[in-house]
Chain A
């Protein structure tokens, strides 16, 4: 594993701290690996930050949602008749957790499971961003 900056060891000479990940490689190679490690770590951080939803993208992905959640007083017929929830203005974190629960099987609902099964984490974040903000 090159990810951890453990290559910063003072192995060898006591008067010089060298960037060593593996012994037997030149310092140039080690420095290059170390820089890559930092880049990968920064990339991971940036990746998790970009998981934040984009409401504009969410609006473009919501066509299938509208079939039920865009119709006032729309009701489902199975397993018994009940109204679908209003989701406009709902809390964003709740919308994310609801869609993930449908997708991952923690919420048993055939319709919503079928729809959520095709959604990536980013799709879910985008849809949640859109619905939480929409009037």
Chain B
């Protein structure tokens, strides 16, 4: 009985840590695997002036932008290609990752 309880607890902990690890690493991995870093930089603070800074940007806005590129509402030869290759889950992981990076973006009040 004790063994079974411990076994269950162990399995539960293993499962939980798996979830936590997946959330922590996916976005960081995707931005390298999917080619985002080439223009937007590893922390989303773009290396190229024509590309937007994404560090600290709203995740919901990044997801919407990627969806718009994918479905054609935003017409951009470069981004359409990248976004078409992404699932919605991947978009959300990427957006969450960029939102959590250090940011120089502001909401000016005047």
A131 to B52, CA, bound (A): 13
Asked if B26 CB lies within 8 Å of chain A CBs, one says no
Q: State whether A135 touches B50 (Cβ < 8 A).
A: no
Closest Cβ of chain A to B70, distance in Å, is 13
Interface size class of A (residues with CB under 8 A): 20 to 34
Q: Which of A75, A91, A134 contacts B46 (CB 8 A)?
A: A91
Q: B105 within 8 Å of A by Cβ?
A: yes
The interface bits of chain A over 94-125 (1 if a CB of B lies within 8 angstroms of the residue's CB, else 0) are 10011001000011110000000000000000
Q: Would you call B74 and A108 a contact (CB within 8 A)?
A: yes
What's the count of A-B pairs with C-beta under 8 Å?
81
Q: Is the CB of A93 within 8 A of B74?
A: no
Q: Which B residues form the contact surface with A (CB < 8 A)?
A: 46, 49-53, 56-58, 60-61, 63-64, 68, 73-76, 103-110
Other than the known A69-B108, A75-B60, A94-B53, what 6 A-B pairs have Cβ atoms closer than 8 Å?
Answer: A70-B110, A85-B58, A85-B61, A93-B49, A94-B51, A108-B68
